[in-house]
Each structure stands twice: as structure tokens, then as C-alpha cells.
Amino acid sequence: MKQLKSLLIAALLFAGVNQAAHAQAKVAHINVSDLMAAMPDMKAAQAQLEKVTKTYDTEYNTMVEEFRKKVGQYEKEASTVTDAVNDTRSKEVQDMQKRIQDYQQNASKELQAKQEAIYKPILEKSRLAIQKVAKAKGYQYVLDASTGSGVLVADGPDLIADVKKELGF
């Protein structure tokens, strides 16, 4: 009787372990970078960012060119003017340099903020599409297979085609 009881407990444990093995979470993957690059919204966003970047670059280059002209002019005239004038010009050049550096830093911050504002709705749209496809196909987890995301092996199902279909491209 004890052996039968032990055998029954062992069988139940084996069945429980076997059932737990079948109840594992379903996992899929998608390369979010590739998805984002293929999205029409992303292409429009990048064109918009390039336009803003070009505006900042044009202004920056104008400031740098003006700075170079002033420095060149002041260097040519340095020996013909008084020390007081040279000191004033030196301060003016330093102020111009600081304005250029400040402009560059502010432009960089503004560009980054603009990029985040433009990309946020696109990221949200792709995230919602991934969630919808994953739920429809019964996946509990979807890993980002983009380079550097931490996924080392991506042999499972790739959802990119289904997500593109969901997004309409």
C-alpha cells in the first residue's frame, strides 16, 4: 500500500511538472528599429527633423563665418590701433565665441527635444500595433531584437510582417 501511495504521488508530481512545462509563456520577437525605419510616418518625421537641422546649421555657419571675418580683420589691424582698441576687440571676439557656443548648445537641446516630440507618437503607434498583434497571436512577451537590445538569440516567431500589416504598410 505504501508503494502504491508513493507511486501515485510520484505520478502526480511528474504530471504536474509536465503540465508546468507546457504552460510556459509564448515569446516572439520583433526588430523595432527595422519597423520604425520602414514606417511612412518615420520618413516624414526625419524629413521634418532634417529641415530643422538645416536651419540650425545655416544659422550656426553664418555666425562662424562672421566670427572668422572679424578675427581676420582685427588681426590685420592689430598693429595699427591702440592697445585699448585691441583689448575691446579681444573682448568682443570672446563674446562672439561664447554666443556661438551657447547657440550650438541650445540648438542641440532644442533639436533633441523636437526629435523626442516628433518620435513619441510614432513609437506609441508602433507599440500599440505590436501589443495588438501579440495579443491576437497569444504571445505574452515580445522581445526587441534590434541590435544592442540584449536579445542574443531570436529563433522564435518574428512579428514584423504582422505588425506592418496591422499598421497598413
User: For each of the chain's 169 residues, which pLDDT tens digit applies?
Assistant: 455 455 446 555 555 544 444 557 789 999 999 999 999 999 999 999 999 999 999 999 999 999 999 999 999 999 999 999 999 999 999 999 999 999 999 999 999 999 999 999 999 999 999 999 999 999 999 999 888 777 666 677 888 899 999 888 8
Number of domains present in the structure of the chain: 1
Domain residues for the domain of 110 are 2-167
Residue type, 52: V
CB 137 within 8 A of CB 27: no
H/E stretch holding 143: strand 141-144
Residues 6 or more apart in contact with residue 52 via CB below 8 angstroms = 111, 114
